A and B are shown apart, each in its own frame.
Chain A
């Protein structure tokens, strides 16, 4: 079942089209990654889907509710962690979690239990009595994300939730999110850190200049756009000068500093590899190391966005 359906969704500010006729369909119980370069329209799309701003045209249906006609009904069922920080400067961490639960009409006993659970899950025990104003950016971000789990929801929008977090806190947050998805939550997730999206997302959409230019699972995107592979070969220091031997072979480069690392980047990388291996074999040059780099979502992202920019779409 789709919990987000948007059709021909547009938002313009004067002559600028921030979101340009996008169609979206997000299935329940999944993590949907929404990726794009700066200014591509990610945050505007989140603001539209969370009813914070009204679209110029198009339709939005969230959890079966018309989000344009019944925005409050939608907001009662969703959680939102916006990109910008939000906090009560005068409240302590524990108090701000508790008050946020109260604002969402969560029962006192449940609030108390959830505060303890979240303080522990987000490693906030030591700073539970510190005022939000005195926290570091990363600590404040953790509180902001933790706070959103004080209330029940069916769908959670996370707009770059890991900004400012150290790697350990980031992994902790992503694992907590995964756990919640297993319990039935649906997540709409934007990030600039593409290995996060690769780690977390069941499906991703890439937006550029307000238009969605690719939607699929990370694996399918790699199949579609990731034919080029990277293969690295290291040869011994004593056999540095091999470039003369590889004349006539395309799609490879030798690291100028070491002179011992050969990198192949090609759509026909296996064929190029075979040719190089034959030459090395004939010339008695041993191989110290050979590695094949898997295509990352980051490479796919760059390919798709660059293609889109080149085609002017």
Chain B
């Protein structure tokens, strides 16, 4: 078995527990069923939320000595970084699939799943996972204390969540909030998911996809560099 696959197996084992999965489903369901909207927003939100795993894995590995232990084993730093990318990609996809499956009965009349739209959701899941996973990784490599890590990561992700179109549409939102929406990558992620679910793909969504993947690649490069330079 390839070293990266072995590390992904390990990452999934230590991260995916019942509590996490239940929370990943129940919390969005509260929004979907109680508020009755934000189906695609909750998928995007859930993808972002699940990528916290990446930061938590790195931070925990450093805190509990597993980062060094892995690096004196049959692995390289590149293996470690790639395993985190694949892990967050898988978790993002699982997360998106769970919400899609659970919300489908409620929204099935307006959902336009087909051969062309499903890849959009998969694209959003993977690129969003890499993007937000990289942000979580960058934060985890810069902070030493658990308190600092939790405060910063929660503040950043809370900002992303509420200054975006995840919970309410951009139309009718006062300035400068509506402009701020489009400085936020979660808005692009949610728009692409929405286009995938409701089949309303447009040129603007195409541009959003390019921005999303470009941002994901830039942030992933920064995260990789920081992780490679991490002192042992």
Contacts and interface: CB of A to CB of B under 8 A. Distances in A.
Instruction: Say whether A associates with B.
Output: yes
A80 B71 CA distance: 10
Interface in B1-52: 1, 6-7, 9-10, 13-14, 17
B74 A72 contact: yes
Contacts of A75: 72-75
Contacts of B10: 99, 102-103
Interface in A58-91: 72, 75-76, 78, 80, 82, 84-91
A86 B65 contact: yes
B64 interface: yes
A105 B9 CA distance: 12
Contact of A51 (B1, B14, B72): B72
Contacts, number: 64
A85 B67 CA distance: 11
B73 A86 contact: no
A104 interface: yes
Contacts of A72: 74-76
Interface in A30-51: 47, 50-51
A80 B68 CA distance: 10
B64 A103 contact: no
23 contacts: A50-B72, A51-B72, A52-B71, A72-B74, A75-B72, A75-B73, A75-B75, A76-B74, A80-B69, A80-B73, A85-B65, A86-B69, A87-B65, A88-B14, A88-B66, A90-B17, A99-B10, A99-B13, A102-B10, A103-B7, A104-B73, A105-B1, A105-B6
Interface of A: 47, 50-53, 72, 75-76, 78, 80, 82, 84-91, 95, 99, 102-105
Interface of B: 1, 6-7, 9-10, 13-14, 17, 60, 64-66, 68-76, 232
Given A95-B13, A104-B74, A105-B6, 16 more contacts: A53-B232, A75-B72, A75-B75, A80-B72, A80-B73, A82-B69, A84-B65, A85-B65, A86-B69, A87-B64, A88-B64, A89-B64, A90-B14, A99-B9, A99-B13, A102-B10
